[in-house]
DNA sequence: GTTACTTTGTGCCGCACCTAAACAAAGTAG
DNA sequence: CTACTTTGTTTAGGTGCGGCACAAAGTAAC
């Protein structure tokens, strides 16, 4: 008998210190039962039980008395810990060149509801963000779920601590637009409680992949992706996003990957930004980019459907070599224990994983660091989930403090 | 009346959690009095007093009842906290191309005693490390001080967690030599208690500069230096050395800084390693390196004494430009809030700080991150102090646990 | 010199959080 | 059915810290 009501009530004031770590373990799927939770936290069973009861009382998780696929077949079966699907959610928003989208994301990175994508991104950030927040507010109204906060992913470097978008170029937004401020104001205006965060989309995608995707368990996770124009990077260190002292870290686009390469707008030449993005791929394959769909879509289609074409094959190999050189440079500096690729880079990895791994290993200084696993990202909408992740962070750090008052 | 003896005794079992942070504050000179300690720790005066009493009982610090240059002139003067100069020390050792040296280093990075430098580095690491440890053991015998542990700085990347030196090239040691194991064995054999650590010299120098030198207070500190051949880098994040997942991070020598540059042994060309080290400087100035003194010494002499020579001037500017390009690349990836230069790079900075800062700012993506302060290192024997720092680390993390048993 | 004020140091109580240990519960293995 | 293994709960207790009142040690004003 797991006396739910009363037991949880009497323990409500206990377990503050271990509460955050415990929730994070359940959140990332590393604590399926209380027994595992006990081991992972390094506490006694009594403490783990109290903590789980408290998280249940907060409406965040559920303790099922049913099966619980425990460890060995012997001994008393453990109760299963799961995320309460009636629990609170975070409002996640994403803006990119093709449009914007809003979603509600619960613990565990589960997308609870999504608003249809709109493809009208105007030059006015306040209008776009107002619409996307309104879409999210609509989702909250129809589902009736509690909201812990809001997160926004933008395809631009975001300066800290101001929260301004430094290069939202392919959104046609003004450089330096105070996106965090605008977003926070719209969130407040929509009557949504909780704090509002804003971050670079690749950074947030990396965070999501680290917690719920291909990056699980990595201590030093490097993420590189290309979507529309340019190349983005992100680093997750010990579970935390490393954004540098001013939010400008991992601007990897200007590593030199081709000394004889084409000139870059930064003043150098042969930069990763202009040598390994969708436009570079289309150009290398001798195709003129069309205006209908996004560059990423065009490049992806070309790579998938015409990979037998010699020109496409050559372009693929060339981009893999350039990307590999860039990754090797990053490996020498950051020495990650895992690399995850997104966007077109993910397609390049799928097209010829051996070639890419060989280039990285060959141009890394030590065989060991060059042998770092390179994986495709595995999470749908990882930027969106990452945006929710930062909104969830205060709750993960201190559940009682963030939810009680 | 500050009842020293009895008060400390009655409080000996208190203050475990805040003990480490408190010691670190005194160690880095950020807590001159108990009042400041109270504020910095964010605890009550009662706790700060108990913690200070306990650290005093451990023989690490002293609470002087004398003046104490407190904050305002009003109110009761605060007692001064200082490091007990009869307290324990760490054994620090350094091996480099010109010889080796041993020292005893107390809290606060104070070098208590040094053994004379020997300049016979043979090809056998066991012999060299045996001699250097013996020199340190002699210092311990003559001073009679307690030893908390030992640290060794080597001019090579050190692989984690094995502790092997991957490229101790200019020591003529075999690549992959198990230096940490050898050092630890010699330390044990010499009857020195405490753990033994080994690290890359630039990494350790960065750590020392962060705690006691030009890097104080920086949250994201980048350190770049060149001594003999090649260029080394280090990153201190939130007070901790970032060595990557296998100890191989910050191998900055193979950033491309000159697309038309000379070939590098790594297979690329124009790498920082071959474009911005002492040999590159001598070559650029049209001088043939001699075998008498170290390359660093020759380059330094040339830069200082013949800076009026047009060839030397051109070489200086060329190296500053190359170095600046490399630093800009690192700034784009790491976004540090301070950069410290050592070895010949420090001399280059002194020679023309404006030029270097301009290159870095110009080639960094955002003006903000390019405006990062670039400073010369300020600590004598920073690698040595850094070696002691890692030996002190267990005590700084948990003074009671590290010293009591 | 006395008084008022400011700031620092200390003793005492209590609370929050956890551990330890004993016991109860729920399964498997024979 | 009994022995064994593992999980969950209860109770008691201990550690580290905050809160608070008070004492101590200086300066400022008169």
- Is pLDDT above 80 for A368? no
Contacts of A275 in chain B (CB under 8 A): none
Of B233, B246, B366, the CB nearest to A368: B246
Residue nearest to nucleotide C10 (CA to C1'): B46
Q: C1' nearest to CA of B78: which nucleotide?
A: C8
Of the candidates B309, B194, B50, B250, the one whose C-alpha atom is nearest the C-alpha of residue A366 is B250
Best of A330, A365, A371 to disrupt the B interface (most B CBs within 10 Å) is: A365
| Residue B295: predicted pLDDT | 93
The separation, in Å, between residue A79 CA and nucleotide D9 C1' comes to: 14
Q: What is the pLDDT of residues A17-43, one digit of tens each?
A: 899 999 999 999 999 999 999 999 999
Calculated CA dihedral for residues A344, A346, A350, A355, nearest 10 degrees: 90
The pLDDT tens digits of the residues spanning B222-249 come to 999 998 889 999 999 999 999 999 999 9
Digit-coded pLDDT (tens) for A106-155: 999 999 999 988 887 888 999 999 999 999 999 999 999 999 999 999 99
Which pLDDT score is estimated for B174? Answer: 94
Distance in angstroms, CA of A74 to C1' of C25?
14
If you write DSSP's letter for every residue of A191-218 in order, what string do you get? T--S-EEEEEHHHHHHHHHHHHSTTTT-
Q: How far apart are CA A136 and CA A157, in angstroms?
A: 24
**Plot region of A193 (φ>0 → left; ψ -120 to 50 → alpha; else → beta):** beta
Q: Which of A219, A242, A245 faces B337 most closely, judged by CB atoms?
A: A245
Contact B363 A337 (CB under 8 A): no
* Per-residue model confidence (pLDDT) at position B6: 28
pLDDT score, position B292: 81
Q: Is the pLDDT of residue B17 over 90?
A: no
Whole-number pLDDT of residue A72: 65
Q: What nucleotide is nearest A37 when CA is compared to C1'?
A: D7
Could you read off the pLDDT of B180-226 as tens digits, one per residue?
999 999 999 999 999 999 999 999 999 999 999 999 999 999 999 99
The answer to whether B82 and B62 have CB atoms below 8 angstroms apart is: yes
pLDDT of residue B10: 32
Beta-sheet pairing, B158-159 with B164-165: antiparallel
From residues 3-62 of B, list those within 7 angstroms of strand D by Cβ. 13-18, 42-47, 50-51
Contact A256, B259 (CB under 8 A): yes
Q: Which nucleotides of D are covered by protein (CB under 7 A)?
A: 4-12, 15-21, 24-28
Cβ distance of A365 and B248 shorter than 8 Å: yes
Whether the predicted pLDDT of A8 surpasses 50:
no
Q: Is the pLDDT of residue A269 over 90?
A: no
Give me the sign of the Cα torsion angle B326, B239, A397, A25. Answer: positive
| pLDDT given at position B57 | 94
So what's the pLDDT on residue B252? 96
Question: What pLDDT is recorded for position A16?
Answer: 65
Of B245, B267, B365, the CB nearest to A363: B267
Strand order, beta sheet including B338-343: B240-241, B232-237, B220-226, B338-343, B374-376
Residue B68 — pLDDT band, cuts 50, 70, 90?
low
State the CB neighbour count (10 A cutoff) for residue A206.
Answer: 32
Lowest mean pLDDT among A2-11, A176-185, B245-254, B367-376: A2-11
* Weakest-pLDDT range from A136-145, A291-300, A375-384, B347-356: A291-300
Question: What is the secondary structure of A97-114 as a DSSP string?
Answer: TTEEEEEEE-GGG-EEEE
Give all domains of chain B, ordered by start, each with its CATH number: 4-83 (1.10.10.10), 89-204+382-403 (3.30.420.40), 217-376 (3.30.420.40)
* Residue A295 pLDDT > 60: yes
Start-to-end Cα distance in chain A? 31
Residues of A in contact with B243 (CB under 8 A): 335
- Residue A149 burial (CB count, 10 A): 24
pLDDT at B73 over 90: no
Element (H, E) at B357: helix B353-363
Separation CA A106–CA A83 (nearest Å): 8
Q: How far is the CA of B4 from the C1' of C10 (A)?
A: 12
Whether the per-residue pLDDT at A369 is higher than 80: the answer is: no
Rounded CA–C1' distance between A73 and D4, in angstroms: 13
> Looking at residues A199-226, what average pLDDT do you find?
97
What's the rounded mean pLDDT across residues A334-355? 97
The secondary structure of chain A in percent helix, strand, coil, rounded to multiples of 5, reads 45, 20, 35
Identify the residue with better confidence: B266 or B398: B398
| 8 A C-beta contact, residue B317 and residue B352 | yes
Smallest Cβ distance to B335: which of A248, A256, A269? A248
What pLDDT was estimated at residue B169? 77
Q: Nearest-CA distance from B389 to chain A in Å?
A: 23
How much is the pLDDT for A3? 29
**pLDDT score of B66 more than 90:** no
Distance B38 CA to C9 C1' (A): 12
Give residue-wise pLDDT tens across range B99-141. Answer: 899 999 999 999 999 998 888 888 899 999 999 999 999 999 9
Read off the pLDDT of each residue in B300-325 and give the average, rounded to a whole number.
96
Task: Classify the phi-psi angles of A383: left when phi > 0, otherwise alpha if psi is within -120 to 50, otherwise beta.
Answer: alpha
- Cα dihedral sign for A130, A132, A138, A144? negative
Q: How far apart are CA B388 and CA B335, in angstroms?
A: 28
At residue B11 the predicted structure's pLDDT band, cuts being 50, 70 and 90, is very low
Tell me whether residues A248 and B332 touch, CB distance under 8 A: yes
Q: Which residues of B touch A332 (CB under 8 A)?
A: 248, 251-252, 254
> What's the whole-number average pLDDT of chain A?
91
Whether residue A67 is predicted with pLDDT greater than 80 in this model: the reply is no
Higher-confidence residue: A10 or A195? A195
Span A163-177, average pLDDT:
91
Q: What is the dihedral of CA A36, A37, A40, A44, to 10 degrees?
A: -100
Question: What's the confidence (pLDDT) of residue A405?
Answer: 65
What's the pLDDT score for residue A10? 33
Over residues A215-259, the pLDDT tens digits come to 999 999 999 999 888 999 999 999 999 999 999 999 999 999 998
The residues close to strand C, meaning Cβ under 7 A, are A 1, 13-19, 42-47, 50-51, 73-77; B 2-3, 7, 10, 33-35, 38, 44-46, 48-49, 53, 68, 70-72, 74-79
B404 CA → D22 C1’, Å: 34
Residue A14, pLDDT > 60, answer no
Residue in A closest to B255 by C-alpha: A329
User: Contact, B252 vs A333, CB < 8 A?
Assistant: yes
């Amino acid at each position: 008998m797991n006396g739910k009501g009363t037991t949880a009530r009497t323990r409500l004031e206990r377990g503050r210190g271990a509460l955050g770590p415990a929730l994070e373990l359940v959140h990332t799927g590393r604590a399926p039962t209380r027994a595992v939770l006990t081991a992972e936290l390094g506490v006694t069973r009594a403490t783990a039980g109290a903590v789980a009861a408290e998280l249940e009382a907060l409406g965040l998780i559920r303790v099922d008395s049913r099966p619980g696929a425990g460890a060995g077949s012997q001994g008393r079966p453990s109760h299963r810990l799961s995320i309460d699907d009636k629990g609170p959610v975070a409002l996640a928003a994403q803006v990119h060149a093709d449009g914007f989208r809003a979603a509600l994301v619960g613990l565990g990175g589960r997308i609870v509801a999504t608003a249809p994508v709109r493809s009208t991104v105007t030059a006015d950030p306040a209008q776009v963000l107002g619409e996307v927040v309104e879409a999210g507010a609509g989702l909250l109204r129809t589902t009736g779920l509690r909201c812990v906060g809001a997160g926004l992913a933008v395809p631009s470097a975001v300066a800290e601590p101001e929260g301004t978008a430094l290069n939202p170029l392919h959104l046609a937004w003004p450089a330096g637009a105070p996106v965090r401020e605008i977003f926070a104001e719209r969130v407040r205006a929509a009557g949504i409680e909780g704090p509002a965060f804003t971050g670079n989309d690749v950074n947030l995608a990396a965070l999501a992949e680290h917690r719920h995707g291909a990056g699980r368990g990595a201590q030093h996770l490097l993420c590189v992706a290309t979507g529309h124009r340019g190349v983005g990077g992100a680093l997750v260190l010990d579970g935390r996003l490393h954004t540098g002292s001013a939010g400008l870290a991992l601007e990897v686009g200007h590593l030199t990957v081709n000394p004889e390469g084409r000139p870059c707008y930064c003043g150098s030449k042969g930069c990763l930004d202009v040598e390994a993005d969708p436009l570079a791929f289309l150009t290398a394959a001798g195709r003129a980019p069309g205006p209908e769909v996004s560059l990423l879509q065009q490049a992806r289609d070309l790579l998938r459907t015409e990979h037998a074409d010699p020109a496409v094959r050559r372009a693929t190999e060339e981009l893999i070599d350039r990307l590999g050189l860039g990754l090797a440079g990053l490996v020498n500096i950051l020495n990650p224990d895992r690399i995850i690729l997104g966007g077109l880079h993910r397609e390049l990895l799928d097209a010829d994983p051996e070639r890419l791994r060989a280039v990285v290993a060959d141009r890394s200084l030590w065989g060991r660091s060059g042998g770092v696993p390179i994986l495709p990202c595995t999470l749908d909408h990882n930027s969106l989930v990452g945006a929710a992740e930062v909104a969830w962070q205060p709750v993960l750090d201190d559940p009682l403090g963030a939810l009680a008052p």
